[in-house]
Amino acid sequence: MARTSKTNTITEQATTNEKVVAENSVVGKNENTKETTKRVSRASVELNDSEEIEVMSIIPNVSYHDKKTGDDYEWDEAGHTESMTVETIKDMWRNNKGYFRNMWLRPLDERVVVKLGLTKLFEDYEFLLNASNYTTNKLDKVFSVFDGLNNQMKNTIITKVKQMVEDEEIKDVKVIKRLGVKLDVDFISLL
């Protein structure tokens, strides 16, 4: 674990009924006594500042020092996760929104994503990672979303697209050629 603390204390978070309700989605009955189901969004459950949330790196080599607690967080590779308290995430957001807006890090809890207003950003990212969106019909939208990214994220997406072409998840030669022209990458040589 890359997190270190000057005080060497970690707060344990007990499972609450609210969390169980958020994950188990059956609630209530109607007048005819038939059970009804209602999906309870995790975003509708309030966040507790001491609650631990997993935060995943989207790019490698990210670090954060929390001045308030003295904790250091390090993500050595893309996909690495660190547990952070909601309070620390809020402080990080308040002091440097770039960690999330530049898509270096991603909170793995929908409630945090909604609270920080990052839903659309992460939906766009997921859209670009879905190989089924790389069709002639959707390619203009792919380019539009891609154009809105910062250079670091563009490089990350280009690497993912290369992998999708190599793994033959993207097979349409017309699409691959257009991607190559737009992204200035020779994807055809990967076939």
Q: Say yes or no: 163 and 93 in one domain.
A: no
The domain boundary, picked from 116, 146, 180, lies at: 116
Within-domain flag for 62: yes
| Structural contact between residues 47 and 86, judged by C-beta atoms closer than 8 angstroms | yes
Q: Note whether 93 and 131 are same-domain residues.
A: no
Residues 22 and 100 in one domain: yes
What pLDDT does 119 receive? 92
Contact status, residue 10 vs residue 74, Cβ threshold 8 Å:
no
pLDDT of amino acid 29: 35
Q: Is 176 contained in some domain?
A: yes
Output DSSP code: residue 46.
P
pLDDT of residue 44: 54
134 plus 86 within the same structural domain: no
One domain, residues 22 and 112: yes
Any idea which of 24-38, 47-61, 127-141 has the lowest mean pLDDT? 24-38
Shared domain for 68 and 83, answered yes or no, is yes
Domain-located, residue 42: yes
Q: Check: CB of residue 62 under 8 Å from CB of residue 130.
A: no
Res 108: pLDDT: 95
Residue 1 lies in a domain: no
Confidence at 26, pLDDT banded by 50, 70, 90: very low
Same domain, 111 and 43: yes
Q: What is the mean pLDDT of residues 80-92?
A: 95
Q: Strand 81-85's sheet: what is its strand order?
A: 81-85, 52-57, 105-107
Distances, alpha carbon 167 to alpha carbons 79, 146, 184, 191, in Å: 19, 21, 20, 9
Q: At residue 57, what are phi and psi to the nearest 5 degrees?
A: -85, 140
Among 60, 81, 116, the domain-final residue is: 116
In a domain, 46, yes or no: yes
Domain span at 149: 122-190
The count of structural domains within the chain is 2
pLDDT band, very low/low/confident/very high, at 161 (cuts 50, 70, 90)? very high
Q: Between β-strands 52-57 and 81-85, what pairing exists: parallel, antiparallel or unpaired? A: antiparallel
Do 31 and 75 sit in the same domain of this protein?
Answer: yes
Q: Are 32 and 44 in contact (CB under 8 A)?
A: no
Taking residues 118-130, report their average pLDDT.
Answer: 91
DSSP state of 4: B
Residue 33 lies in a domain: yes
**What value does the mean pLDDT of the chain take?**
79
